Structure 1
Amino acid sequence: MVALLAVLGIGVAVFVGYNIGGSSTGVAFGPAVGSRLVRKVTAGVLFTGFALIGAWTVGRNVIDTMSSSIVPASQFTPVASVGVLFFTGLALLVSNLYGVPASTSMTAVGAIVGLGLATGTLNEALMFTIVSAWVVAPLVGFLCGAVIGRYLYPYLDRYIAFTRLDDHLIQVDGSGAVPRPTVNSNATVRDLVGSVLVVVIACYMAFSAGASNAANAVAPLVGAGGPLTVDQGVLVAVGAFSLGSFTIARRTLDTVGDDITELPILAALIVSTVGGTIITILSALGIPASLAVSTTCTIIGLGWGRASRAASIADLATPTPNERPAVATGALTAGGQQENTPTSPTVGELADREAPAAPADDETPDVPSMGSEDAEELSAESLFDASAVSRIVTMWVLTPTIGVVCSFLLFSLVL
């Protein structure tokens, strides 16, 4: 019976990791695949490799926290392990049905908290630290996005070009006896630099995803009495990630995700860098946190900061009733740019194989001064409408709550 439960637990862990790999690969490598810098198979290989590095290094700290620190490792009996993983997988299913990216980390922790409450073994001091990090991390993401959007984004948007090549960047020349890789002859030096940056940041996102998500798949199975060692757990988790990367991620890479199709590729890279850094730091500290929550709050902050350029600091601090600056996240969308402002292609345009041409060097206009940009043009479209934001936030709160309540009720009756 114990052996059967162990096999069942590993099967559920693979299911969780499979879904994580499918969604995370699309988020990390969507811009790179859409701009034809790497192929889907290459994206899967790179994601798997860097997720393994992240999980094998800093990801161990998160596995240790979730497998033995929130509740004692001895509490993860075969039944408890299967139950915790089941509720984590259930949260993924619910979020997919509602089309909202749930926080797998928060839900997994919620299920473990339910176990701790049912058995009276919850480490309350550690949970206070974890919950505090869940509050602070999104605020840091929003603040970083706001500062970059207000003070740096307009300059980056004019001097860093991200274009879509008609053919893949790396091609295979089969004219000779031995096929050899060649670089697209139409790619300029600027294209090459931008391409390297896009791929490097995608690999960094894969590293962060592996560091934060390996524990979500296998933590209950690792530790005292568990069927897996830490090393085995990491390999099982990354193997499941890889399975998702090469299968269901192909569809995600095609569509790049409905929620970010209007996001310029430059903004997507900024968001990836900020969100990935936040999660990497928390993972190194052994704190499980949500990459989706941090990146989404960074997007909102970046849009707010971009739109706030329509007003000076003094105007923002003391707006008059008739001159209140319009601030909206729509400033990041293509429609929220001024007519004479060259824009980076959006992620959606890259996915649809359509993108505006990059401006020539001598056509780069000056960046308007703070407070002189048109608020109506900056706010022309909304990146997130109110209903979408409400649905996302509700799901972020609801899924961990479901994990806690269901886990508590189950383990109160079973254990």
Structure 2
Amino acid sequence: MVSLLAVAGVAVAVFVGFNIGGSSTGVAFGPAVGARLLRKATAAALFVGFAFLGAWTVGRNVIATMSSSIVPAAQFTPVASVAVLFFTGGSLLISNLYGVPASTSMTAVGAIVGLGLATDSLNQALMFTILSAWIVAPLLSFLVGLVVGRYAYPYLDRYVAFTQFDLHFVQLDRSGRVPRPYLNPRASPRDVVGSVSVVVIACYMAFSAGASNAANAVAPLVGEGGTLTVDQGVLLAVLAFGLGGFTIARRTLETVGDDITELPVLASLIVSVVGGTVITILSAYGIPASLAVSTTSTIIGLGWGRASRARTLAELATPTPEPSDVEVSTGALVTSRAEDAPTGPTIGDVARQEATAEKPDELPDIPDVGAEGPADLDEKSLFDPMAAKRIVTMWVLTPSLAVATSYPVFMFLL
């Protein structure tokens, strides 16, 4: 019986890791693949390699927290382990059905909290720390995105170039016995810097994903008397990531939502750096947190920051007598210059292989903060508040449901 449960636990862990790998590979390397900087197989291989590096190093701390610190490791019986993984897999299903970046990490912790409450073994001090981090992390991501969007984004958008190549960035000369790699002849030095930045940041995103998500797939199976050791758990998680990365990740760009496809490549790189850094720091302290929540918060902050450039801080702090219907969305990131100065390609552009408009030789001046000018934004094109409410609701609802549904299961059935 125990052996069958162990097999079931490993199978559910592979299912969870498979879905994480499929979604995370597309998010991390979508811009690089769409711009023909990398082939899909190369992107999947890089994701697996850097996710393994993140899981093997920083990710161990998160696995330790989720496998033995929130509740004692002895509470993870084979049945309980399968149940926790079942609830984690269910969160992925809910996220996919509703198209909302619900947090797998939060739901996994919620299921473990249900186990701890049912067995009266919950580490309340640690949970207070984790809950505090869940509040601070998205706020910090939002504030960093807001500052970058308000003060730095227009200049980065003007001077940082991202090119979508007709042929792949790295070519192979097969005329000799040994194929010789060479750069696409269309690539200028500026293109090389921008292209390398896209790939490097994608690898960093993969590192962060591995550090934060390995525990979601295998933590209940790791620990004293557990089915797996920590090393085995990391290897199993990364193997499952790879299965997803080499299979379902190939269609990620075709099914990604509008809020992501309309995000410019430059903005997606800023989001990756900010969100990935916040999660890597938390993972180093062993705190399970959501990469999806941090990156989405950064997107909202960037859009809000871009929208606020036409007003001074004093004007923003002064309430207006007229009702405000300002919305914040990725449209604020796209509408960053005058009509004759188009922005860089969006993720949707590179996914659909659409040509982007060339920048004119002379660009209009960027207005100062608080000054009206040709680069002002249409504030009504900003983020849909109903979408923001739906996202925040799901962030709160999914872990809460995990606690509410797992508690009676562990209390009365297991």
TM-score, length of structure 2 as denominator length: 0.95
Specify the SS of the correspondent of 2:359: coil
Specify the SS of the correspondent of 1:363: coil
Contact 1:54-1:211 at 8 Å conserved across structures: yes
Moved more, 279-288 or 95-104: 95-104
- Please list, as runs of the form range in 1=range in 2, the aligned pairs for 1:14-413 lying within 5 A after superposition: 14-321=14-321, 328-335=328-335, 337-359=337-359, 362-373=361-372, 378-379=377-378, 382=381, 384-413=383-412
In structure 2, C-alpha distance between the alignment counterparts of 1:119 and 1:293, rounded to whole Å: 30
The verdict on how the C-alpha distance between 1:373 and 1:263 changes in structure 2, with shifts beyond 3 A counting, is: farther
The verdict on how the C-alpha distance between 1:282 and 1:358 changes in structure 2, with shifts beyond 3 A counting, is: farther
The verdict on how the C-alpha distance between 1:58 and 1:405 changes in structure 2, with shifts beyond 3 A counting, is: same
Q: CA deviation at 1:162?
A: 1.0
In structure 1, C-alpha distance between the alignment counterparts of 2:54 and 2:23, rounded to whole Å: 17
Q: CA deviation at 1:166?
A: 1.0
The verdict on how the C-alpha distance between 1:174 and 1:255 changes in structure 2, with shifts beyond 3 A counting, is: farther
Specify the SS of the correspondent of 2:181: strand
Deviation per CA, 1:338-361, whole angstroms, max 9, x where unpaired? 21433111111111111424436x
The verdict on how the C-alpha distance between 1:371 and 1:238 changes in structure 2, with shifts beyond 3 A counting, is: same
Specify the SS of the correspondent of 2:321: coil
Specify the SS of the correspondent of 1:329: coil
Q: What does residue 10 of structure 1 align with?
A: 10
Q: CA deviation at 1:401?
A: 1.5
- Counterpart of 2:197, as a letter, is L
In structure 1, C-alpha distance between the alignment counterparts of 2:256 and 2:203, rounded to whole Å: 16
The verdict on how the C-alpha distance between 1:167 and 1:255 changes in structure 2, with shifts beyond 3 A counting, is: farther
The verdict on how the C-alpha distance between 1:401 and 1:81 changes in structure 2, with shifts beyond 3 A counting, is: same
Contact 2:310-2:370 at 8 Å conserved across structures: yes
In structure 2, C-alpha distance between the alignment counterparts of 1:381 and 1:162, rounded to whole Å: 28
- Counterpart of 2:260, as a letter, is I
Deviation per CA, 1:125-167, whole angstroms, max 9, x where unpaired? 1000000000000000000000000000011011111121111
Aligned identity (percent) is: 71
Alignment gaps of 5+ in structure 2:
none
Q: CA deviation at 1:397?
A: 1.6
Contact 2:328-2:384 at 8 Å conserved across structures: no
Q: CA deviation at 1:254?
A: 4.1
In structure 1, C-alpha distance between the alignment counterparts of 2:87 and 2:327, rounded to whole Å: 39
In structure 1, C-alpha distance between the alignment counterparts of 2:217 and 2:306, rounded to whole Å: 37
In structure 1, C-alpha distance between the alignment counterparts of 2:403 and 2:30, rounded to whole Å: 33
Deviation per CA, 1:213-258, whole angstroms, max 9, x where unpaired? 0000000000011010000000000000000000000000445543
Aligned residue-pair number: 414
Contact 1:330-1:381 at 8 Å conserved across structures: no
Specify the SS of the correspondent of 2:182: strand
The verdict on how the C-alpha distance between 1:371 and 1:324 changes in structure 2, with shifts beyond 3 A counting, is: farther
- Root-mean-square deviation (CA, aligned residues, Å) is 2.0
TM-score, length of structure 1 as denominator length: 0.95
The verdict on how the C-alpha distance between 1:355 and 1:314 changes in structure 2, with shifts beyond 3 A counting, is: farther
In structure 2, C-alpha distance between the alignment counterparts of 1:392 and 1:326, rounded to whole Å: 18
Contact 1:256-1:351 at 8 Å conserved across structures: no
Alignment gaps of 5+ in structure 1:
none
In structure 2, C-alpha distance between the alignment counterparts of 1:300 and 1:372, rounded to whole Å: 22
In structure 1, C-alpha distance between the alignment counterparts of 2:322 and 2:259, rounded to whole Å: 34
Contact 1:12-1:85 at 8 Å conserved across structures: yes
In structure 2, C-alpha distance between the alignment counterparts of 1:62 and 1:70, rounded to whole Å: 11
Q: CA deviation at 1:39?
A: 0.8
The verdict on how the C-alpha distance between 1:376 and 1:158 changes in structure 2, with shifts beyond 3 A counting, is: closer
Contact 2:60-2:230 at 8 Å conserved across structures: yes
In structure 2, C-alpha distance between the alignment counterparts of 1:397 and 1:287, rounded to whole Å: 18
The verdict on how the C-alpha distance between 1:255 and 1:83 changes in structure 2, with shifts beyond 3 A counting, is: closer
Q: CA deviation at 1:331?
A: 5.0
In structure 1, C-alpha distance between the alignment counterparts of 2:383 and 2:323, rounded to whole Å: 24
Specify the SS of the correspondent of 2:276: helix
The verdict on how the C-alpha distance between 1:75 and 1:325 changes in structure 2, with shifts beyond 3 A counting, is: closer
